[in-house]
């Protein structure tokens, strides 16, 4: 009987591997772009990384109805007496932006010692703890993996990054529209769960990751006029430092920079309601041919108006984004017959993919390193006033 049991365990393992292989083979995504990961692969690989992350990482699954989302938390070193920088990353709010969760998975690999830059990882962990939500729109992402590469919203047709209770009332009311806000703020299971996870974590640094163009943004996104006042200069300084090494792209207040109103976003809500000192949304991918033009035109704009860093630029960069399809610029509904949706939002070659995930994962670690001392100083300043 014992011999039979010993034979049964590896057989179960082989059957499980066979099931996973069949599922992977049925994915249009892996047929077209085999260097990407399916949702199941992201979840499985992330859990393996967590289990081998020197006891510093945990994973929790939350569910509402048919929707489930994994939250990963990573605790850094406790040797410092400074206030911990709680850094939250939100990936995959828009399901067609597949590169977003891929960069999050690479970040987890780096933190858990299975990728490069160990010195940077160690420096980040000295002062920061991390929260990673790798797949914020899980049901629609599965449809994207089956070849529906233009799908942006959740299965109910709601743009999850317009469903947050931050100037939500100014969002798109039209069901079926490209930015439909939903029936009420937080009407969707996905945004409810992410909101609750973030509220519990209480981030001091927050980043929502998107693709479709290049840009590093801070609040506000809800209109094209206002820039956040609280901690404005520090947020701009952090973006400027990161921009030179990792993007060389437009940066500043999202709505003000692109000249486009985006009410109901996650990063505006985190900044306003959770009072995170640093809250950002980044656009991390544009087609290479578009990027060179974007970069040169951006440089021309900066020469004309050197006051962008002070938030005083009189012109927007709206025209610079013409033809781009992203969360914060050029909002037009894509026609699947006329546009290559996959290539608009995601690297389509393995070399480009590898460069992207490594570059941005490294930038996320740098973000934690750059914001940590400011978080500690702001904490001390607040404590001194009590």
Please write the tens of the pLDDT for every residue from 271-293: 999 999 999 999 999 988 887 77
In a domain, 13, yes or no: no
Q: Which domain holds residue 252?
A: 38-385
Residue 232's pLDDT band, with cuts at 50, 70 and 90, is: very high
- Cβ pair 356, 282 in contact under 8 A: no
**Number of domains the chain contains:** 1
pLDDT at 169: 82
Average pLDDT on 293-307 reads 60
Catalytic residues: 283
Q: Angle at which helices 118-127 and 350-385 pack, to 10 degrees?
A: 30
In a domain, 329, yes or no: yes
Q: What is the CATH number of the domain that holds 312?
A: 3.40.630.10
In a domain, 327, yes or no: yes
In a domain, 2, yes or no: no
The pTM of the full predicted model, rounded to 2 decimals, is 0.87
Query: What does the pLDDT look like over 308-364, one tens digit per residue?
Result: 444 444 344 444 444 455 565 544 445 444 358 999 999 999 999 999 999 999 999
Contacts 24+ apart (CB under 8 A), 36-45: 36/98, 36/102, 36/346, 36/353, 37/101, 37/102, 37/105, 38/145, 39/135, 39/138, 39/141, 39/142, 39/145, 42/101, 42/105, 42/134, 42/135, 43/70, 43/134, 43/135, 44/20, 45/105
In a domain, 226, yes or no: yes
Query: What does the pLDDT look like over 13-45, one tens digit per residue?
Result: 433 444 444 454 579 999 999 999 999 999 999
In a domain, 65, yes or no: yes
In a domain, 83, yes or no: yes
In a domain, 249, yes or no: yes
pLDDT at 386: 47
CA-based angle 286:288:294, to the nearest 5?
Answer: 65
Residue 167's pLDDT band, with cuts at 50, 70 and 90, is: confident
């Amino acid at each position: 009987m014992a011999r039979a049991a010993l034979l049964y365990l590896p057989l179960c393992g082989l059957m499980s591997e066979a099931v996973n292989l069949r599922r992977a083979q049925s994915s249009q995504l892996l047929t077209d772009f085999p260097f990407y990961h399916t949702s199941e692969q992201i979840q499985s690989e992330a859990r393996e990384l967590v289990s081998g992350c020197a006891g510093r990482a945990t994973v929790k699954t939350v569910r509402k109805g048919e929707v489930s989302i994994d939250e990963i938390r990573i605790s850094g070193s406790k040797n410092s007496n400074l206030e911990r920088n709680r850094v939250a990353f939100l990936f995959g709010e828009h399901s067609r932006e597949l590169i977003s969760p891929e960069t999050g998975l690479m970040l987890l690999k780096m933190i858990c010692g299975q990728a490069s830059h160990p010195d940077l990882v160690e420096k980040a962990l000295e002062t920061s703890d991390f929260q990673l939500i790798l797949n914020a729109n899980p049901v629609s992402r599965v449809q994207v993996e089956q070849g529906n590469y233009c799908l942006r919203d959740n299965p109910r047709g709601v743009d999850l990054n317009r469903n947050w209770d931050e100037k939500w009332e100014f969002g798109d009311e039209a069901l079926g529209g490209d930015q439909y806000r939903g029936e009420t703020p937080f009407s969707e299971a996905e945004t409810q769960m992410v909101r609750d996870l973030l509220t519990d974590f209480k981030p001091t640094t927050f980043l929502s990751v998107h693709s479709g163009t290049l840009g590093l943004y801070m609040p506000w996104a809800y209109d094209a006029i206002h820039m956040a006042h609280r901690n404005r200069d520090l947020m701009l300084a952090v973006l400027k430092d990161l921009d030179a090494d990792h993007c060389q792209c437009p940066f500043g207040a999202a709505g003000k920079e692109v000249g486009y109103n985006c009410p109901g976003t996650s990063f505006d809500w985190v900044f306003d309601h959770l009072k995170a000192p640093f809250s950002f949304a980044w656009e991390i991918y544009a087609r290479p041919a578009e990027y060179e033009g974007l970069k040169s035109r951006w440089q021309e704009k900066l020469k004309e108006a050197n006051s962008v860093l002070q938030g005083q630029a009189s012109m927007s960069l709206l025209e610079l984004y013409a033809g781009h399809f992203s969360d914060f610029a050029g909002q037009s509904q894509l026609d699947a017959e006329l546009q290559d949706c996959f290539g608009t939002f995601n690297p389509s070659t393995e070399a480009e993919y590898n460069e992207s995930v490594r570059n941005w994962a490294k930038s996320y670690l740098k973000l934690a390193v750059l914001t940590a001392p400011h978080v500690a100083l702001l904490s001390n300043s607040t404590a001194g006033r009590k």
